[in-house]
Structure 1
């Protein structure tokens, strides 16, 4: 029974990542630094950092999608590998979406109480960037809530094994 739950979550995450990859690819294939500056004059280096982080997110999502596909295609479902993969996806994709290491944007934790989007930028950004995040945030939040279990469960298992 537990295997089927993990397997279902793996399938959901794979579908989510597939969709996220398409959205990130479309945005990055159509958007240049020059186009962002034309859309809204702003800090060129800041716009570069946003594009760089979006590329990283795209790579993380592609790698995660591939990992899900490989696990789901195996002859026998490997629950341990799936759980470890979901844990890694939580950190590489979800956490990086809400709080990238480079700090190009951040999550306003109070937004959950206001019903507004939680991603905040340190400086003004073009509407295309803002709309990208608004369009993705609810799906990332949904998957985050599903995968938070693996964050705590994996840490607990690691502590117990010491």
Structure 2
């Protein structure tokens, strides 16, 4: 089960990195400013978040690829990687370090998108985040187990 989850996460991260890199490679601050009334510092903050998320997801993707290729498959190492991905990628998406956006926890009950921006974002960033959100939500649900299980193991080992 851990190996199939690792493979699922690897595919998700590969697609996410492709989407983020395509966006980042074809976007500039001036073009984003034409799409919104948001301030330039806020638009730059949004782009910084996208870059940070792309790096974390790429690192997680590479870690998954390495562990999947190992023979025999190392379950404990995979669990540690999945735990790390939960913290670096999933949590960074829903609650970025610099608070460029936030998660509306009530959105799950309304069926609306959970990510809310502090200022009106450029349309292209809003579309990108909406495109990515369902995948991040699904992977978060898959990996929440590792969050609690790994912490329990760490506490018990002390």
TM-score category of the 2 structures, normalised to the smaller one: over 0.9
With normalisation by structure 2, the TM-score equals 0.98
In structure 1, C-alpha distance between the alignment counterparts of 2:56 and 2:123, rounded to whole Å: 24
Matching residue within 13, 16, 19 for 2:15: 19
Matching residue within 116, 119, 131 for 2:115: 119
Structure 1 residues without counterparts, runs of 5 or longer:
none
Aligned residue for 2:34, secondary structure, equals helix
Question: Could you tell me how far 1:38 is from its partner in structure 2?
Answer: 1.4
Q: Given the alignment of the two structures, is residue 102 of structure 1 paired with residue 98 of structure 2, yes or no?
A: yes
Aligned residue for 1:42, secondary structure, equals coil
Q: Given the alignment of the two structures, is residue 52 of structure 1 paired with residue 48 of structure 2, yes or no?
A: yes
In structure 1, C-alpha distance between the alignment counterparts of 2:34 and 2:120, rounded to whole Å: 14
Instruction: Name the counterpart of 2:74.
Output: 78
Instruction: Name the counterpart of 1:35.
Output: 31
Post-superposition CA distance 1:114-139 (Å, at most 9, x none)? 00000000011111111111111001
**RMSD across aligned C-alpha pairs, in angstroms?**
0.6
In structure 2, C-alpha distance between the alignment counterparts of 1:68 and 1:85, rounded to whole Å: 7
With normalisation by structure 1, the TM-score equals 0.96
Aligned residue for 1:106, secondary structure, equals strand
Alignment length (residue pairs)? 158
Matching residue within 132, 139, 143 for 2:128: 132
**Contact kept? 2:37, 2:120, Cα under 8 Å:** no
